Structure 1
Amino acid sequence: MQLKYSLITTLSALLLSGLYLGTYARTETVDTTLVLHEVVVTGSRTERPVTQSPGSISIVSPVLLRNTPAQSVDDILTMISGVNTTRSDGISNMHTNVSIRGLAGDEQGRTLVLFDGIPINTSDEGGVNWNSLHMDNIQRIEVFKGPGSSLYGNNAMGGVINIISKKPFSPFSVNASGSYGSLNTWKTNLGISSRVNDKFSVFLSGYYNKSDGFNNVPDSLRTNPDYSVARFVKEGGLYAKILYSPTALFNIDLAYDLYKDKRGEGEKIQAPDGEYRHFNHHRVQGRFYGEKGKFSYNAALYFQRQDYFKLDERMKNSDYQRFDVKSHRDDWGAIMHLRLSGKFNDLVIGSEFKNGSIDGGDHYVTSPDKVLNRGTIRIISVFAQDELSLLNKKIWLQMALRYDNAYFHKGWFEAIGENVSDFNTYNGKLKNNRWEHFSPRIALRYNPTETISAYISYSQGFRASILDDLCRSGWMWVGPKIANPDLGPEQIDNYEIGGTFRLTGTLSFSPSFYYAKGKDFLYYVATGEKMWGKRDIFQRRNISKVDVKGIEADLNYTPVNNLKINLNYSYNDAKIKDFKEQPELNDKLLTYAPKHQVKGYILWTGGIVDAMFRGRYKSKQYTSEDNSTAIKGFAIWDAQLSKWLFRHRLYVSGEIINIFNNRHMNTKEYMSAGRLMNIKLAVNINR
């Protein structure tokens, strides 16, 4: 508690010092996190000012992207109120989750992530490969908090994160950068873009990163210290985009994203590189859009493949065992929506098709055993939204409804071999399952003056079960588990009120209050069957109800154009309310859902140097569903200094992440790297 209050006091002091410094600051241009006239697209699938979007939206601007001391996209998102991330050790993390409003930070599938409006969550495990999203390819990020299923469907229970890519603006531009930092970490990037003419543009970038890494497993959790090694990282990617706009009614954006990596797991027995994981990730997107008069349309086709590999080796008594996990995860689909603008309303209708599949298995190297699984989920959707403007555009009323029809099929499981014979009972084809869901939303935003904008809303969100639960049997953290093809969607009803209030010309306050009731949340339940006659066998089931109450508040102060100060606080109380099979879990908090988060930063641009200083505090997080285990709360401070030289041709920056070397735990298994330092040099050529 002392740590929490000391951080609040320090952030408050920073805010007051910013008020003082602002009196003498020199005026230059700087982006802000959220201003009342700023245009967003995520809240309604079409461009509109924040004051016309009835919900809570946070924006990460280009200036914040460039000046935030962070090594990944999700690390930037951690500064937004209501957002929780699990990354703790820079680029070494293999898997990171980003959650919104306490809906279990170990379940990425409850927060939808879009790239240029196209979903990138996988159907197999609901996650997002955050390492594959390169910051130099990103223009801005919009975070819509609260259920967004009325427009976006699956995964949008807690909210929607829309990552918007860069577009070429210059006739020709080259940007090359290199950086070096702690843990012998090297990063290189090369980007080339050209706006050839008014109709045709191209954007191409590539990068390569490597790091010796460190061992992020605490000594107390290492199974055998003799085999413990550092977790190395090697990763790289290519991104290409073509934009063609022959007419206002017909525009095309085509993009291809390739990402590959190899990440050590911190243990080496016999394999040359020890245990490691590897992604071979392809993403292809095509967008077609245009407008004429009051009519506009937007269509998209996309395909995403993740080829995943993990080498797992271990010693069982004196026997060496190794198996390789190989999975092919495909997600593809199409989205279409049409917009018709009237004098007092905007009507959007649309449809979506998404198909996700998994073909994976554990292939033993030291024995002939195999454990294989396959399955496909298909979701077909239609949606409609109407937004009415009333009282000379002082009131915006939004009404939306979406229908989703999901079909799980082609499920199959097979365990082959003597060592996995205990799962033979479950071999064979899995039953098909179909379900449907309606997602309504009604919201109202009221703008009585230019300085006040308030909203109230009701919305419903859902998440389809992941294929890993529908069709894979095997070992999980609870022990042996069997697939459950009968799983339906998780659901949540959210009630919310909030707004943005301009207290002075330079100071604004944005609070929001929400209450959500969830049902059919997934939990592991003992089936009554035993493995080896003694070990409980578990299965995921739609079994519990959840209540979530919370407050988010942002204070933004811009005393002059080149000084920006933000201080925000989040309170979240997410509890299991009705779990008949395990009543002892009632009133327990959800895992990885901190009750309190305090965050803030000071950003100065346009002077001798650009500078950012940021801090964040996260309270205790429970790591078990019965709340018997937890990780302590922690505070982190970061800083970055940067400077453009020679008319924006040369860029130099230095950053320190975790200034005070707080080696905290952000998950129950992994400890942070502590202090990380990095220097960067970039060259920019424009003509």
Structure 2
Amino acid sequence: MRKIYLFLFTALLFLGVKAQNNNTTHPDSLPISRRIFKLGEVKVTGKNGNANSTVNSEQIESFNKLDVAQALNLLPGVTLSSVGARNESVVFVRGFDLRQVPVFIDGIPIYVPYDGYVDLARFTTFDVSTISVEKGFSSIAYGANTMGGAINIISRKPVKQFEMDARSGWLSGQGHRLNLNVGSRIGKFYVQGSASQLKQNGFPLSDDFKPKQYEDGGKRDNAFREDSKYTFKVGFTPKGDDEYALSYVNQKGEKGNPPYVGDDPLQKARFWQWPYWNKESLYFISTTGINAKSAIKTRLFYDKFSNLLSAFDDNTYTTQKKASSFQSFYNDDTYGGALEYNIQPDTKHSLKASAQLKTDRHKEYNLGEPVRTFRDYTASVGVEDAYTVTDKLSLLPGISINLRHSLQAQNYNSTTKEVTNLPENENYAFNAQLGAVYRLNASNRISLSVARKSRFATIKDRYSYRMGAAIPNPDLKSETAMHFDAGYTGRFFDKLEIETGLFYSRLSDAIQQVNNVQPNIYQLQNTGKARFYGAELSLNYAVLKGWAAGGQYSYIHRTNLSNSALKFTDVPDHKVLLTSTYRYNGRLSVMASGSYNSERYSTSYGIKSGAFALANLSAHIKVYHGISIEGGINNVFDKNYTITEGFPEQGRNYFVNLVFNNL
């Protein structure tokens, strides 16, 4: 069987490789850019977007990436990882984690207030138009905490009087997907709605997996997931570029955490489940022209998050009698707003001034304990400019000042059963950046940038006792990074596209664990220094009509300058992705892809997850007008691998979808 798969994979790869950055659309489709909700974009004025920093809906569906974490892994410089103990899918952007690269939907912050993370596997891709990733140098309009960049998930906007996009599919692990997007644009009004469900009872392990305690092979134990999402947007475009839109998103999730089955004697299996992981967002975005040269953009938002973590005694998931068992409740909300003032005072300058204020509230308690409340507010003001020096050279300066102030923090003493208030604290951070873009000609450009970015300590950083292992440090300052970046984008002979980038980041005041502040007790302190550096390369080549070729390579190396014994985790030094697509007559497309990740550390004390290479096959067949069938095989050679040591990933798995759309 493996020889047959190898033959098919090699034959398709020989036909040509279509990189994930190819924007080819079906002949009867409108350009993808037409359906992007432009109000949801956040850009540095004058900075042209790079293909290796965005992934659109067609690419996402071509690769059958069902959640945002998997979709982002298609981009160079972005690494998929998994927080094994919590079964959370995250990504690293040039080595920076989600606390340092916050996540937004249409420019609205949606990361969890308590720890700054968000489980990207809970965000399905079925209603997404595009996902944009800023690396290091990013717009000041995002606000605070964009130390390593920003991730913006941009929703859809209809362009036709009536449009529909629907998929119903089956996937391995007793799973299915159901999703429907419906939109309408009539005159000056538009509406867009969606409903979806992704459900899986588990996933198949590789036949090469050797049974261990808590995992006998076959279907991965306690790896179930169910994610439902409903969205609605209504918009009004009265005149010119003026636009007003109100959006609502409701997500409901449920998941299990597969137990640890690795070889690290310091790790223990945890028997955790989340009966609910729910998020709800309501936001308003508008842009109003003042005159021909200026406009005001407004964002107002309210975001609510709640979940329940149930820790059980053993892998029967029925009893909670041990000291390690508990039921932990989180109830968080965030509300705030942002204003942007855009003006072009002359032909040389395009200025943007922005101000943002948001308040975060985190409530937590274990069953039988009182509620503890934590509240912060974060403010940011800044300005950026696109200065056209010549018709070839543009400069992109920007500065901002951020403030984080603690409004409330409570501590619970389990011995006295009392809740006490902790002292308030605040921290300021200054950010500055300068970019330059030089256009050699219409198809080739060079970019350079330097940026000083920061991140405030989260509520968890400052106040968590880490189950008795740590001492809180409310006075933690922000950590900072200096980024240096050089890039080149070019197109030759209308066939070859090249994008390259070199980057170097120096971290200071990094929040790092300091051991034995008290006997066997650690504390987080601003003692860390580190450097991250690397390179990215993307190639696309149109071989013949219907065939295209390309690929990508990422190199990321991170060094802890303060304590070489503490290893940075979850990011391999080397990552490669190759894909191959053959399209015939607008009715058939067949794709093969291959990826490679070098080994990576899974713990700060040196336990590694090994290198691996994967191969995938898929096909899309247009049956009649807007009706299509698609299917594929992932991990064709049934590789037994991990991205976090002790947590094996899916072996060979399959999917089949029935598709209908009139896009």
Q: 3-state SS of the aligned residue for 1:668?
A: coil
Q: 402-411 vs 242-251, which deviates more? A: 242-251
**Aligned counterparts of 1:11 and 1:442: Cα–Cα separation in 2:** 45
Asked whether the 8 Å contact 2:146–2:453 carries over to 1, the reply is: yes
Q: 107-116 vs 507-516, which deviates more? A: 107-116
- Normalising by structure 1, what TM-score? 0.83
Does structure 1 residue 676 correspond to structure 2 residue 653? yes
Does structure 1 residue 351 correspond to structure 2 residue 351? no
Picking from 549, 567, 576, the partner of 2:533 is: 549
Matches within 5 A, 1:460-609: 460-475=452-467, 480-530=469-519, 536-559=520-543, 562-579=546-563, 585=565, 589-605=567-583, 607=585, 608-609=587-588
Task: State the partner residue of 2:264.
Answer: none
Deviation of the 1:675 alpha carbon? 1.5
**Aligned counterparts of 1:315 and 1:253: Cα–Cα separation in 2:** 49
**Aligned counterparts of 1:19 and 1:621: Cα–Cα separation in 2:** 27
Asked whether the 8 Å contact 1:40–1:142 carries over to 2, the reply is: no
**Aligned counterparts of 1:384 and 1:354: Cα–Cα separation in 2:** 18
Does structure 1 residue 78 correspond to structure 2 residue 73? yes
**Aligned counterparts of 2:538 and 2:493: Cα–Cα separation in 1:** 15
Does structure 1 residue 612 correspond to structure 2 residue 591? yes
Task: State the partner residue of 1:210.
Answer: 199
**Pair 1:499–1:561, CA change in 2 (3 A):** farther
**Aligned counterparts of 2:639 and 2:239: Cα–Cα separation in 1:** 55
Task: State the partner residue of 2:254.
Answer: 262
Asked whether the 8 Å contact 1:56–1:145 carries over to 2, the reply is: no
Deviation of the 1:14 alpha carbon? 7.7
Does structure 1 residue 360 correspond to structure 2 residue 336? no
**Aligned counterparts of 1:305 and 1:27: Cα–Cα separation in 2:** 37
Give unmatched runs, 5+ long, in structure 1. 1-6, 21-25, 268-272, 531-535
**Aligned counterparts of 1:42 and 1:199: Cα–Cα separation in 2:** 18
Does structure 1 residue 656 correspond to structure 2 residue 633? yes
Picking from 78, 91, 98, the partner of 1:98 is: 91
**Pair 1:61–1:558, CA change in 2 (3 A):** farther
**Pair 1:355–1:508, CA change in 2 (3 A):** same
**Aligned counterparts of 1:524 and 1:19: Cα–Cα separation in 2:** 45
Task: State the partner residue of 1:162.
Answer: 152
Matches within 5 A, 1:436-475: 436-475=428-467
**Aligned counterparts of 2:53 and 2:29: Cα–Cα separation in 1:** 13
**Aligned counterparts of 1:74 and 1:544: Cα–Cα separation in 2:** 28
Task: State the partner residue of 1:23.
Answer: none
Give the share of equivalent positions with the same residue, in percent.
20
Task: State the partner residue of 1:238.
Answer: 230
Q: 3-state SS of the aligned residue for 2:504?
A: strand
Task: State the partner residue of 1:338.
Answer: 341
CA distances 1:327-381 after superposition (whole Å, capped 9, x unpaired): 0121222111111123112111110112112110222xxxx5x375431221111
Matches within 5 A, 1:34-183: 45=43, 50=48, 58-86=53-81, 94-103=87-96, 107-148=97-138, 150-183=140-173
Deviation of the 1:201 alpha carbon? 0.9
Q: 325-334 vs 521-530, which deviates more? A: 521-530
Asked whether the 8 Å contact 2:349–2:387 carries over to 1, the reply is: yes
**Pair 1:296–1:561, CA change in 2 (3 A):** farther
Q: 3-state SS of the aligned residue for 2:571?
A: coil
Deviation of the 1:296 alpha carbon? 2.2
Q: 399-408 vs 505-514, which deviates more? A: 505-514
The amino acid of 2:660's aligned partner reads: V
CA distances 1:422-443 after superposition (whole Å, capped 9, x unpaired): xx8xx62222111111110011
CA distances 1:644-678 after superposition (whole Å, capped 9, x unpaired): 33222x12110222111112111134210212211
CA distances 1:542-575 after superposition (whole Å, capped 9, x unpaired): 2110111111111121345644433111111111
Task: State the partner residue of 2:410.
Answer: 412
**Aligned counterparts of 1:344 and 1:29: Cα–Cα separation in 2:** 39
Query: Which 4+ runs in 1 deviate beyond 6 A?
Result: 10-16, 30-35, 38-44, 215-218
Asked whether the 8 Å contact 1:185–1:210 carries over to 2, the reply is: yes
Task: State the partner residue of 2:21.
Answer: none
**Aligned counterparts of 1:564 and 1:193: Cα–Cα separation in 2:** 32
**Pair 1:515–1:14, CA change in 2 (3 A):** farther
**Aligned counterparts of 2:492 and 2:10: Cα–Cα separation in 1:** 17
Asked whether the 8 Å contact 1:114–1:162 carries over to 2, the reply is: yes
CA distances 1:478-502 after superposition (whole Å, capped 9, x unpaired): x622322111111100111111122
**Aligned counterparts of 1:276 and 1:39: Cα–Cα separation in 2:** 33
CA distances 1:82-117 after superposition (whole Å, capped 9, x unpaired): 00011599xx994111111122xxx32121222112
Give unmatched runs, 5+ long, in structure 2. 1-5, 19-23, 260-270
Q: Aligned residue pairs: how many?
A: 627
**Aligned counterparts of 1:685 and 1:549: Cα–Cα separation in 2:** 45
Task: State the partner residue of 1:4.
Answer: none
Asked whether the 8 Å contact 2:481–2:508 carries over to 1, the reply is: yes
**Aligned counterparts of 2:83 and 2:321: Cα–Cα separation in 1:** 34
Q: 216-225 vs 147-156, which deviates more? A: 216-225
Task: State the partner residue of 1:431.
Answer: 423
Asked whether the 8 Å contact 1:150–1:461 carries over to 2, the reply is: no
**Aligned counterparts of 1:402 and 1:334: Cα–Cα separation in 2:** 17
**Alignment root-mean-square deviation, CA:** 3.6
Deviation of the 1:319 alpha carbon? 5.5
Asked whether the 8 Å contact 1:30–1:563 carries over to 2, the reply is: no
**Aligned counterparts of 1:517 and 1:149: Cα–Cα separation in 2:** 20
CA distances 1:599-647 after superposition (whole Å, capped 9, x unpaired): 1222344534122222211111112223x21110111222221123322
Q: 3-state SS of the aligned residue for 2:53?
A: strand
The amino acid of 1:121's aligned partner reads: Y
**Pair 1:685–1:390, CA change in 2 (3 A):** closer
Q: 3-state SS of the aligned residue for 2:173?
A: coil
**Aligned counterparts of 1:643 and 1:17: Cα–Cα separation in 2:** 18
The amino acid of 1:674's aligned partner reads: G
**Pair 1:319–1:496, CA change in 2 (3 A):** closer
**Aligned counterparts of 1:330 and 1:556: Cα–Cα separation in 2:** 43
**Aligned counterparts of 2:614 and 2:40: Cα–Cα separation in 1:** 30
**Aligned counterparts of 1:401 and 1:13: Cα–Cα separation in 2:** 52
**Aligned counterparts of 1:461 and 1:487: Cα–Cα separation in 2:** 17
Does structure 1 residue 278 correspond to structure 2 residue 276? yes
Deviation of the 1:408 alpha carbon? 1.8
**Aligned counterparts of 1:484 and 1:493: Cα–Cα separation in 2:** 25
Asked whether the 8 Å contact 1:88–1:673 carries over to 2, the reply is: no
Asked whether the 8 Å contact 1:507–1:555 carries over to 2, the reply is: yes
CA distances 1:135-188 after superposition (whole Å, capped 9, x unpaired): 221111222222426442333222222221111122123333211121110221
Q: 3-state SS of the aligned residue for 2:493?
A: coil
Asked whether the 8 Å contact 1:463–1:489 carries over to 2, the reply is: yes
Does structure 1 residue 623 correspond to structure 2 residue 602? yes
**Aligned counterparts of 1:210 and 1:646: Cα–Cα separation in 2:** 28
**Aligned counterparts of 1:164 and 1:544: Cα–Cα separation in 2:** 34
Asked whether the 8 Å contact 1:29–1:606 carries over to 2, the reply is: no
Asked whether the 8 Å contact 2:447–2:488 carries over to 1, the reply is: yes
**Aligned counterparts of 2:376 and 2:121: Cα–Cα separation in 1:** 25
